[in-house]
Structure 1
Amino acid sequence: MLSLDTLNAASKAEFVTLLDGVYEHSPWIAEAAHALKPAGGFQSLPQLKRALAQAVHDAGAEPQLGLVRAHPELAGKAMVSKTLTAESTNEQGKAGLTDCSPEEFAHIQQLNAAYNTKFGFPFVMAVRGPRGQGLHRREIIATFERRLGHPADYELAEALRNIHRIAEIRLNDKFGVEPTLGNLVWDWHEQLSVHTDPGYAELGQLTVTYLTDAHRACAAQIRTLMDECGFDETRIDAVGNVVGVYHGSDPAARRLLTGSHYDTVRNGGKYDGRLGIFVPIACVRELHRAGRRLPFGFEVIGFAEEEGQRYKATFLGSGAVIGQFDTRWLDQADAHGITMRQAMAHAGLDPAKIAAEARDPSKYLGFVEVHIEQGPVLNEMDLPLGIVTSINGSVRYQCEITGMASHAGTTPMDRRRDAAAAAAEVVLYLEKRATSVPDLVGTVGMLQVPNGSINVVPGRCLFSLDIRATTNEVRDECAADTLAEIAAICERRGVAFKAEETMRAAAAPSDPAWQQRWERAVDSLGLPLFRMPSGAGHDAMKLHEVMPQAMLFVRGLNAGISHNPLESITNDDTELCVQAFQRLLDDLAKEQA
């Protein structure tokens, strides 16, 4: 097996030879990476992987396109003629592409032809997949069909991302590296995803909403896992949170708190929230196996609810932990008329005990959370981890513009009071206004014409506004400007409007000391430090109200898509996340000793 010591001691020519086959027919990448070798040599395999990816990035468009074109078609002529490289033969064989049925093979050939005609380069996919053991042919074909619909620039970037994943797996093979903890955490996600609500299970979709039978099964499974991994105390609390405690060398010492949520959106992904539960569980597993105690306690919470899918309330789990559970929520009914109080009774929970779940912040060192990014930034930059600087503050409005419904054929254009046209101006204004300021985003996510007809000028239009920024001030300035612009648009068009604020959440900047601990952890792995805001809300923003907090992001696949079945992570990135968490614990242990 290859070692970093051998690679670092190699001449440039030897370096290129040792890395032969990592990037298909492209030795120039290893040559360029050799020039990026640090003075003391590569200190970690992730650092080497990053240098190789950087070499591709710095090369520019033509060499990148040449790299993509150096790859063979999937189940193509090279496979049939057995002229694939050894690496490609191994990968396509593990994915079962050498065992295609005649119908599958013919369909793949049609896809290859259509893809080459559209893009001018072959379809490239890391067929060994996010776990590294090989994808099924059905999944490969479905991905092929989906990506055929991409724009050309997007698809070229996606091909390059897959090439880097192929190279990562090949490097693991060369160095004899197995991301054991990454595999473990990845498998835990798969095992938990078997539980899904009725109506979605039949469709093969993952949906776990608050206190359904699937939700309760998830809680029980997480608790069992905590017991198996060596937690000293585990329980399901009065709101449905799964709580595990690993005592420090002094059981009375203050604790580090961590966790995330295990509920999902409807037809969601497997990693949103759950990654922040399983990664620290893996850390406890390793501490227990080593017989090691930290000088502080370690408490992991699988928060029961964050998404607000079943009831019109969010952050039920983390809200209860900070003493902000609103008892008025208990009388809310879901779509089937079941109140939250009734759901709790069915689950064996006692609402009268929820108030007692509030933690005393003085007994905690702080709160940290790891989470899938839920966006494209890390994926586009080919970075596995990102340090969160702030969770964006947000405000939401439900808006209504009222004009005059009239006949589409007989109402002259200059005499219309078109509510939808006015709303269209609002959409474009918000897009322009949000684009003008870094880390500000604005979205009209719902837009409808009630009782609209193809031959009627819209007399009423309903729409939403969602405005987020890293500071409350930037958020509020955008909101004020947008509402003022709506008023001006409506006055000019002779229509009326009203807006109701439905949600407001304050920005939650990361605590500097805890952010620096994440930075030191990531740096120790040989990875570049990339700081970024979180545009999505997280349980950490609730804990922020009572104690210092900081978050770490993990790259998502498929352009970082989340709240979607395509949401995915790799075992290698997960391994790095566990290692970063372990480094943070070690760092904190030294501070507390």
Structure 2
Amino acid sequence: MGVTYEQAGALAWQWLEQIARVSETEDPESEGVTRLCATREHRAALDLLGGWMRDAGMTVRVDNGANLIGRYASADPDARTLIMGSHQDTVPHGGKYDGIMGVLLPLALVHYLNDHAIALPFHLDVVAFSDEEGTRFSSTLLGSKVLAGSFDPVMLGAEDDAGVTLRQALLDFGCDPERIADDRYPPGAALGFVEVHIEQGPQLEAEGLPIGVVSAITGIERHKLSIHGLAGHAGTVPMHLRQDALVGAARVIGLVDELCKTTDELVGVVGKIDNSPNGVNVIPQRTDLTVELRSPEDATRLAARNTLLARIEAALAALDLRLEHQLIYEQAAVQCAPALVAQLEAAVAANGVAPRTLFSGAGHDGLAMQALCDIGMLFLRCARGVSHHPDEAIEPDDLSVVVAVLASFCMALAESADQPVA
């Protein structure tokens, strides 16, 4: 009879529990998982994953960016390739599912396909990207940029906390960083890229849905604001004469919160504050803070930026404070391909789940992969939306739902190409 979707999902759960122990931490339950790029933990994870891939009938290779790529090959060597996968690396003391779940669920799908001797008219590549989080070298999206052909060789000079360069780490890992440009997928070779990821938010759980379809990956911008006032004795300067930089910062925080709560598909935060001279009885002279805005629609984000900066300047001028402002980071939003969104929605519906479309407020490897091909994405619900934390949790039964949805998606993709599944 062959492996069922439920059994494939259960196997994915076993794999998740096993690979969570491949970590710098001793106890992933209490301390979380720490697995960084080009480390012995990375090597051990690839050894495990590579073995499971071979057991599922895949050929396996590691490229010069330390990505692991398993291929479930089509009978046609010239066929195009559907790419699935996610990142194997974590943040320090992260959860057991962020990233790695998106490697193991496609692998469970291949296990199902191989067990049922189902051939596809396209190659199916499952990728464990080397470094999405950027924890060790601040090299965010290293692996996906390598495959998409957008990796900047300048990044090879980045150093970790011990002074080891990314170039040296890759060499020690057995890679040849000078040949990274050779590892991109050829133009036109990829059918598309599909990633499965925990939602990292509470919406699916709140709606009682195991799975959702992602419409876009958010655009992000970050600002550094320095508010200048005048220090003085907190007991002798009258309130109406004060130029208190921290009071100005409080106004900024309120303006960010108000704008984001009244603008659809916009979120933001003041995440970091430094106050000077930071004395208990001294009026603050300078306060530095960061402002981050995110939206899946760049037009919404840019309009919000202009509105916010105008309101901040007016508020600080009224307090007789001076503002210095710098845009320190900007990443445009990436829209998932409408055709892939529709096909994923149909696959979700075919498996008895009401399709729910939502945008991703976090960045993912699709930000880089969109330079190569169309991208699509599925979210799996997670408990209370907790992520990047040891308390990250999912429902084991949801894994079999994803395997079934991915199978339906692949079958429909094969049929749509007028190349029926064997």
Structure 1 length as normaliser, TM-score?
A: 0.67
Name the counterpart of 1:282.
108
Name the counterpart of 1:567.
392
Post-superposition offset of 1:487: 2.0
- Tell me whether 1:371 sits opposite 2:197 in the alignment: yes
Q: How does 1:146-165 map to 2 (within 5 A)?
A: none
- Tell me whether 1:304 sits opposite 2:130 in the alignment: yes
Post-superposition offset of 1:416: 1.9
CA contact (8 A) 2:8 2:109 kept: no
- Equivalent of 1:498 in 319, 324, 328: 324
CA contact (8 A) 1:401 1:461 kept: yes
Name the counterpart of 1:219.
46
Question: Aligned letter for 2:387?
Answer: S
CA contact (8 A) 1:373 1:554 kept: yes
- Tell me whether 1:489 sits opposite 2:323 in the alignment: no
Question: Aligned letter for 2:151?
Answer: F
- Tell me whether 1:229 sits opposite 2:62 in the alignment: no
Name the counterpart of 2:8.
181
- Measure, in 2, the Cα distance between the counterparts of 1:422 and 1:376: 33
- Tell me whether 1:388 sits opposite 2:214 in the alignment: yes
Question: Aligned letter for 2:399?
Answer: T
CA displacement 1:241-284 (0-9 Å, x = unmatched): 11111111212111111111111111111111111111111111
- Measure, in 2, the Cα distance between the counterparts of 1:351 and 1:422: 48
Relative contact order higher in (CA < 8 Å, ≥ 6 apart)? 2
Name the counterpart of 1:197.
24
- Measure, in 2, the Cα distance between the counterparts of 1:236 and 1:418: 56
- Tell me whether 1:584 sits opposite 2:393 in the alignment: no
- Equivalent of 1:405 in 219, 223, 231: 231
- Measure, in 2, the Cα distance between the counterparts of 1:450 and 1:316: 37
- Equivalent of 1:362 in 188, 207, 229: 188
Name the counterpart of 2:345.
519
- Measure, in 2, the Cα distance between the counterparts of 1:212 and 1:459: 45
Name the counterpart of 1:470.
296
List runs of 5+ in structure 1 lacking aligned partners. 1-176
- Tell me whether 1:250 sits opposite 2:76 in the alignment: yes
Question: Aligned letter for 1:212?
Answer: T
Post-superposition offset of 1:566: 1.1
Question: Aligned letter for 2:322?
Answer: A
Closer, same or farther: CA 491–280 of 1 in aligned 2, 3 Å:
same
List runs of 5+ in structure 2 lacking aligned partners. none
Question: Aligned letter for 1:575?
Answer: S
Higher helix content, 1 or 2: 1
CA contact (8 A) 2:145 2:368 kept: yes
- Measure, in 1, the Cα distance between the counterparts of 2:276 and 2:155: 29
- Measure, in 2, the Cα distance between the counterparts of 1:407 and 1:311: 44
Closer, same or farther: CA 529–178 of 1 in aligned 2, 3 Å:
closer
Post-superposition offset of 1:490: 2.5
Residue aligned with 1:400, SS? strand
CA displacement 1:150-175 (0-9 Å, x = unmatched): xxxxxxxxxxxxxxxxxxxxxxxxxx
Q: How does 1:318-337 map to 2 (within 5 A)?
A: 318-337=144-163
Post-superposition offset of 1:342: 2.4
Question: Aligned letter for 1:186?
Answer: W
CA contact (8 A) 1:200 1:267 kept: no
Higher-Rg structure is: 1
Post-superposition offset of 1:178: 9.3
CA displacement 1:390-433 (0-9 Å, x = unmatched): 11111112222222232222222222222221111111111111
Question: Aligned letter for 1:320?
Answer: V
Identity over the aligned pairs, expressed in percent? Answer: 36
- Measure, in 1, the Cα distance between the counterparts of 2:28 and 2:297: 40
Bigger Cα displacement from structure 2, 199-208 vs 400-409: 199-208
- Tell me whether 1:531 sits opposite 2:351 in the alignment: no
- Measure, in 2, the Cα distance between the counterparts of 1:213 and 1:509: 36
CA displacement 1:332-355 (0-9 Å, x = unmatched): 222222222222222222210111
CA contact (8 A) 1:443 1:467 kept: yes
Name the counterpart of 2:174.
348
Post-superposition offset of 1:505: 1.4
Bigger Cα displacement from structure 2, 206-215 vs 559-568: 206-215
Post-superposition offset of 1:493: 2.0
Give the alignment's Cα RMSD to 1 decimal: 1.9
Name the counterpart of 2:66.
240
CA contact (8 A) 2:212 2:356 kept: yes
- Measure, in 1, the Cα distance between the counterparts of 2:361 and 2:176: 34
Closer, same or farther: CA 234–451 of 1 in aligned 2, 3 Å:
farther
Name the counterpart of 1:431.
257
- Measure, in 2, the Cα distance between the counterparts of 1:186 and 1:462: 45
CA contact (8 A) 2:5 2:112 kept: no
Post-superposition offset of 1:590: 1.3
CA displacement 1:306-363 (0-9 Å, x = unmatched): 1121222311111111111112212222222222222222222221011111112301
CA contact (8 A) 1:200 1:207 kept: no
Post-superposition offset of 1:202: 12
CA contact (8 A) 1:243 1:300 kept: yes
- Measure, in 1, the Cα distance between the counterparts of 2:407 and 2:357: 20
CA contact (8 A) 1:197 1:213 kept: no
Q: How many pairs are equivalent?
A: 415
Question: Aligned letter for 1:560?
Answer: G
Post-superposition offset of 1:513: 1.0
Closer, same or farther: CA 224–405 of 1 in aligned 2, 3 Å:
farther
- Measure, in 2, the Cα distance between the counterparts of 1:228 and 1:397: 48
